[in-house]
Amino acid sequence: MRKKTPRAICLEILRRVEEADRHPDALLSDSFKQYRHLTPLDRAFLTELTYGILRWQGKLDWVISRFLRGPLEKTEPAVLNVLRLGLYQILFLTRTPVSAAVNESVELAKKIRGKGGAGFVNAILRSVVREREKIVYPDITKDPILHLSVMESYPLWLVQRWVSEWGLEETHRICRAMNQISPLTLRTNTLKISLEDLIQKLREKGLTPLPACFSDDGIVVKDAPPVSEIPFFKEGLYIIQDEASQLVTEVLGPQPGERILDACAAPGGKTTHIAQRMESEGEIYALDISREKLGLVEEACKRLGIKIVKIVKTDGTKTLPLPEKMKFDRVLVDVPCSGFGTLRKNPDLKWRRGEEDIKRISELQASILANVSRYVKDGGMLVYSTCTVFREENEDVVESFLDEHTEFRLDRIGDVLPEKCHRFIKDGYFKTFPPGGEMDGFFAARIRKGQTFLC
């Protein structure tokens, strides 16, 4: 029996992204475990295909639609993914022979829809190969927003939003930046090893680690292999976490001996970072609505050697199942969000989430923030954070909260972030979008209860 090829596995992943709403990185990790026959080159090719197709889906669909007789929406999803797979190789992978891209796609289509599907895919892809230089794209002078949407592969509504807020030139820069492949960033587990010693150990294994620019615990691994091949993970010497996410813990400013609530804790990156900053002295209550996701928090704590975290399964919009009158020195509310600050890692979000989702998500965020704020002690700190870029989920939620809860005030973020990070303080908030470095787009507000400090 022929072993499954990277192209066939890619189609399986694309289907599951659409149907199961799972992130591609998790699906890739599952595939690496399931298909043990894949070589390092196979895994790299599979990763390139998966992320490349998701990242450039808008442009691929534009080209495909030029060669269809009917509307793109009427093309069977499985066959459409085969076309995207073949076309991505033709347009973007110069080292892949065109003949291989076409022939392999035709064979995959035959398995899905027989000779008819194979003939359809063969005709479309060969037409593209013949006429690729004649493909007409939207004219930048006549419709610059549509041009950006197609050429940079973003939904039209998203480009329209960014152009209205940032202007055409800046939006073009944003689109290009968010289409880049994000670097692999580690956070040193300083409970077990110093950043300098971890860098040295990674270098001894032939990797190229460098200190991150802004997080004192961060390491950027240049030209990184697949995550599963990076050593010292099981030993708990690090966790994979974007640098901007690491800086949210700096905004919170946890101290040893405190009692801290992490209200939306899964998968545990910030929870474990808080524990590091507390030097494993004090208490952390890690909450989440999903038992499965809380398992990830428990797993991370065990691997990193953290024992001060108490796991609580609960709904952040309802009264928390905590001891009566329990209050916290600091509360982190890293709410569920649309995730558009992480498009480099999760390009599928461009196509799975729409403008109509933002209002629904912002209402949930406001509800969680209002509910959890009741557990902040007088003089305590509340940090609201997201990994998205929309005002409705960020500033609007915070400002509405402050209007309705006059016992809270914005606190000075510049007092807790090092000077090298002050470039990310905008209008009193921590914001790493539009992208100004190799970090995801994050937002954080530092709010104190019972004080009158203003930024």
Instruction: List the catalytic residues.
Output: 387
Query: Distances from the Cα of 271 to the Cαs of 249, 254, 266, 419, in angstroms?
Result: 9, 11, 8, 24
- 437-448 in b/e burial notation, b at 16+ Cβ within 10 A? ebbbbbbbbbbb
Q: Measuring CA to CA, which residue among 110, 22, 5 is closest to residue 352?
A: 22
User: What CA–CA distance (Å, rounded) separates 84 from 61?
Assistant: 7
Report the DSSP beta bridge partners of residue 59.
none
In contact, 310 and 271? CB cutoff 8 Å: no
Burial bucket for residue 403 (CB in 10 Å: 0-12, 13-18, 19+): exposed
Q: Of 75, 62, 24, 19, which is closest to residue 156 (Cα–Cα)?
A: 62
355-374 as b/e, with b when 16 or more CB fall inside 10 Å? eeebeebbebbbbbbbbbbe
Alpha carbon 173 to chain centroid distance? 19
Do 231 and 243 contact (CB within 8 A), yes or no?
A: no
Q: How many residues does the chain have?
A: 455
C-alpha torsion angle, residues 272, 275, 280, 286 (rounded to 10): -80
Question: Hey, is 408 helix, strand or coil?
Answer: strand
Amino acid at 49: L
State how far the Cα of 232 lies from the Cα of 441, in Å rounded to an integer: 28
3-state helix, strand, coil in the chain (%, to 5): 50, 15, 35
Cβ atoms of 171 and 146 within 8 Å: the answer is: no
With contact defined as beta carbons under 8 Å apart, do 398 and 368 qualify? no
CA-CA distance, 92 to 80, in Å (whole number)? 18
Q: How far is CA 40 from the centre of its chain?
A: 24
CA distances from 412 to 207, 377, 409, 444, 455 (A): 39, 18, 10, 12, 5
